[in-house]
Structure 1
């Protein structure tokens, strides 16, 4: 008597031993993944180089951005594995017929790891921005806001990791679709809500520094420039929103073919967020060229000032607008949270003999701080 298992046809034997690159979907994924690794790596390197130029000490923001870069590279290595070894870009039935069932299983394991790595990457990149905010705008309200949003991000991304692992129970059901002893949740709904929360959190993070920058005492043009510098992260929101528009068209039973576009934009999103988080730190590299160009111009004022004589009137002296020598790392808005110092000074000390044989007038003053208070 024949067993019941003999009625089930055996899986087809693979016809091809290697996966060729033969369609535009595969090329698009490989190219975008390469760029998504190269560009953030360059910008993170420039960020650390700029910090070295101004001798800026490394902080938690730098540690988070480095971790985000590592996981971003891991995310796109996973995509390479899915394309080159898992048949990503072909129909699922074609993968089984041409490359064997093991190839499809490898892809399904890779697509399971993808949202897990994505959540960790997004978490570190957003935390890096929040640590930057707390360092650049060190006032109590901003620090408390960063802590609250940071805690939510950690909990949300931990939930995303657990959701990806527990969506199918047992976990082997993610890649072994022949099992009948488990259940799977709604994959599409899971990814849609994950993306919606991501857009909301991104918008909150981008709007957080605006009120503080608005209260800074600086020219309107400079305020607009600073706000624009912090607002370039809206590009990440645009990518996320477009990615969300592709999710309703996913057919998870043929994820290897229909999930290409959504996966591409899911991989691009943290790379853009990571790259844009480095832009505010590149200012020392941009200002270096301006300083070199203005060296000769400034020396004219130095030489002119040294040749002034006492007979020259005040109106004939050359003046130039002072360069912005504000801190490279901190913005200090005036308000109830800012620190203010008051001091009284007195002019003390004996007069020093003055040699006026050269025809110049020399004024010698000494100042001593006699009292000091810190304002509330």
Structure 2
């Protein structure tokens, strides 16, 4: 089984704490997302399958980090101290573990971003949003392949990654390679974050709903910040003293994919909250039961108004371009209605409901083809 390191240092505890906590958050977030789909009776789409894959890769990455703490000496002490006490076996094992760590990191982040972009393509029927999403997907796929190839080819022969005694072997600048891939990752993070913002800002909905929606979609800013911190931390890595210098870089590399999976799942959890009865766009005065004969009816609340069956969670994120929509709400007393009004409403096909009438008008302008 090899060496088992005692958990004594702060670095070891930090790596383990992050690994367990953020793995749990990612799994819970994806589970709640899928439960939300079940509650809303929605089928799984490509975005869901990609986020599930991203979660699996992220948890796999954290599992390797946990293994590295217990069996490879991550955060335990300097390489020279570990080698003198336990031999070179733990150091060799850690250098082997770094390779799948890098692969799982890039695979998890790429699947998360593709999941988000595929969702954009589905809910935003805007040509330029679709083009940006597809182009960004292409960049992400190319970045993923390049990162994996760099991890495989930076040391020749491949075994020189962990066995520095191989004659004629050599390695490129691994820290610089990690930094470059990190910078590209940050750029794509920013693109994914800002792509939907202009469309969200143009949506015709209540201000509080718009702000909430922009905030939810803007949670990816946290991932961008973590990504930037990771890039700065990577510069402190030293492969000649890898057990001592790896913990901070390992922590940020573990937080980023798990947090990305979690934040990407939050916008899809709306059905878990149920339907809100609060409608800020319409206010009404409380009426007495004397002035409202139906106030005591079971179908009405204390104000004498019937609750509208309006589930705003089903609204599509589609701005109305070239379409003018007017809604008029009128409150009438039953004793003031006259036969002429009733006749006019019946002629327009409006159903008499008593108390509140809603009239909606659409004005559509058709441009001539050139």
Q: Is the 8 A contact 1:68 1:274 kept in 2?
A: yes
Partner of 1:238: 225
- The match for 2:56 among 57, 62, 70 is 70
Query: C-alpha distance in 1, partners of 2:292/2:106?
Result: 61
In the alignment, does 2:289 pair up with 1:325?
no
TM-aligned CA deviation for residue 197 of structure 1: 1.1
Q: How far apart are residue 191 of structure 1 and its match? A: 1.2
2:314 aligned counterpart, secondary structure = coil
Q: Give the number of the structure whose alpha-carbon radius of gyration is greater.
A: 1
Alpha-carbon spacing, 1:181–1:375, altered in 2? closer, same or farther (3 Å)? farther
Q: Note if contact 2:3-2:90 (Cα within 8 Å) is conserved in structure 1.
A: no
The answer to whether the 8 Å contact 1:92/1:254 transfers is: yes
Q: Deviations over 1:300-325 (max 9, x none)?
A: 99x9999459xxxxxxx955896753
Give how far 1:68 is off. 0.4
User: Which of residues 121, 132, 146 is equivalent to 2:108?
Assistant: 121
1:217–1:333: 8 Å Cα contact kept in structure 2?
yes
**2:294–2:304: 8 Å Cα contact kept in structure 1?**
no
SS across alignment from 1:52: helix
Equivalent of residue 106 in structure 1, options 78, 93, 111: 93
Match of 2:210 among 223, 232, 240: 223
- Match for 2:121 among 134, 139, 142? 134
170-179 or 97-106: which moved more?
97-106
Partner of 2:354: none
Task: Give the match for residue 263 of structure 2.
Answer: 276
Cα distance change on mapping 1:30 and 1:329 into 2, 3 Å:
farther
Give the match for residue 154 of structure 1.
141
Deviates more, 1:320-329 or 1:80-89: 320-329
Q: Secondary structure at the match of 1:331?
A: coil
1:72-118 Cα shifts (integer Å, max 9, x gaps): 11101111111111111121122222222222111110012111111
Q: Is structure 2 residue 67 aligned with structure 1 residue 81?
A: yes
CA contact 1:304–1:318 (8 Å) conserved in 2: no
Q: Alpha carbons of 1:234 and 1:274: their partners in 2 closer, same or farther (altered >3 Å)?
A: same
Equivalent residue number for residue 42 of structure 2: 56
Please give the alpha-carbon distance, in whole angstroms, between the structure 2 residues aligned to 1:305 and 1:75.
67
Equivalent residues of 1:188, 1:250 under 8 A apart:
yes
* Cα distance, 1:283 vs structure 2: 1.1
Take 2:193 and 2:290, find their aligned partners in 1: how far apart are those partners? 47
Q: Within 1, Cα distance between the matches of 2:158 and 2:263?
A: 36
Corresponding position of 2:251: 264
User: Post-superposition shift, 1:149?
Assistant: 0.7
CA–CA separation in structure 2 for the residues paired with 1:49 and 1:152: 32
Deviation string 1:279-314 (CA, Å, 9 cap, x unpaired) is 1011111235x459xxxxxxx99x9999459xxxxx
Is the 1:135–1:330 Cα contact (8 Å) retained in structure 2? no
- Under a length normalisation based on structure 1, what TM-score does the superposition of the two structures give? 0.77
Q: Is the 8 A contact 1:68 1:121 kept in 2?
A: yes
- Output the aligned Cα RMSD: 3.1
1:172 is matched with which residue: 150, 159, 165? 159
Among candidates 6, 11, 30, match of residue 44 of structure 1: 30
Question: Quick check: 2:59–2:258 contact (8 Å CA) kept in 1?
Answer: no
Aligned counterparts of 2:159 and 2:101: Cα–Cα separation in 1? 16
Tell me, yes or no, if the aligned pair for 1:136 and 1:329 is still in contact at 8 Å: no
User: Pick from 185, 190, 210: which aligns with 2:197?
Assistant: 210
Counterpart for residue 27 of structure 1 = 13
The separation in 2 between residues aligned to 1:136 and 1:333, in whole angstroms, is 11
Identify if the C-alpha distance between structure 1 residues 179 and 325 changes in structure 2 by more than 3 Å, giving closer, same or farther.
Answer: same
Q: How many correspondences in the alignment?
A: 320
Deviations 1:329-370 (A, max 9, x none): 73111237xxx8xxxxxxxxxxxxxxxxxxxx8986796xxx
C-alpha distance 203-184 of structure 1, shift in aligned 2 (>3 A): same
- The alpha-carbon distance between structure 1 residues 82 and 265, as it changes in their structure 2 partners (threshold 3 A), is same
